[in-house]
């Protein structure tokens, strides 16, 4: 079985900036996508947020473009519809942007997991799309 997973912006940032103690685990997740062992999805808005954060960290435009182009070689983009945007706004999440991303992921046929290193913001997630950290997903993937 090939899992279909939606990546939140912070997963990319953890890898690109090596910003958490678990960035190597998030990198393993991206490698699974690059090796076609999982199908990765994100939204254009998530990558825009990544570009903004990388610029704030003083990366050059060339470096940012290289990171984003690399991510796009193994990540499919899923647009946010008006309906998923509205659902996210009214879902009761404390972070509205996280809610919109989550409801964007719900529109992808066959999506299995929503992956984020910011797990605490997804307490209002629905049962049909489980939220996991990169570490939790890698453990699950390694068990199969």
61, 79 Cβ separation under 8 angstroms: no
Per residue in 50-63, pLDDT tens?
Answer: 999 999 999 999 99
Question: Which carries the bigger pLDDT value, residue 3 or residue 127?
Answer: 3
Report the C-alpha gap between 61 and 64 in whole angstroms.
5
Edge-to-edge strand ranges of the sheet holding 3-7: 75-77, 38-42, 3-7, 113-115, 131-132
CATH of the domain at 108: 3.40.50.1010
Per the prediction, the chain carries an average pLDDT of 95
Asked if 124 contacts 114 with a C-beta cutoff of 8 angstroms, the reply is: no
Q: CB within 8 A of 141, min separation 6: which ones? A: 3, 32, 37, 38
119 has pLDDT over 90: no
Mean pLDDT of 58-76: 96
Checking if the pLDDT of 121 tops 90, the result is no
Write the pLDDT tens digit of every residue in 89-108: 999 999 999 999 999 999 99
pLDDT at 120: 86
Q: Which of 79, 84, 85 lies closest to 41 in space, CA to CA? A: 79
CA atoms within 13 A on the CB side of 59: 18
For 29, the domain range is: 3-143
Taking only the tens place, the pLDDT of each residue in 23-52 is 999 999 999 999 999 999 999 999 999 999
Task: Assign 20 a pLDDT band (cuts: 50, 70, 90).
Answer: confident
How many structural domains comprise the chain?
1
Q: Do residues 90 and 70 lie in contact, with contact meaning Cβ atoms separated by under 8 Å?
A: no
Q: Using CA of residue 78, residue 75, residue 39, residue 140, what is the dihedral sign?
A: negative
């Amino acid at each position: 079985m090939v899992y279909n997973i939606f990546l939140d912006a912070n997963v990319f940032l953890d890898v690109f900036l090596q910003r958490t103690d678990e960035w190597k685990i998030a990198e393993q997740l991206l490698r699974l996508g690059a090796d076609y062992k999982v199908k990765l999805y994100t939204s254009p808005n998530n990558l825009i947020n990544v570009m903004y954060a990388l610029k704030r960290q003083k990366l050059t435009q060339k470096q940012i473009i290289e990171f984003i182009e690399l991510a796009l070689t193994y990540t499919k983009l899923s647009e946010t519809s008006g309906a998923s945007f509205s659902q996210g706004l009214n879902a009761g999440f404390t972070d509205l942007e996280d809610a919109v991303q989550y409801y964007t992921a719900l529109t992808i046929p066959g999506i299995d997991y929503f992956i984020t290193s910011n797990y605490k913001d997804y307490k209002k997630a629905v049962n049909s799309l489980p939220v996991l950290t990169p570490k939790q997903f890698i453990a699950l993937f390694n068990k199969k």
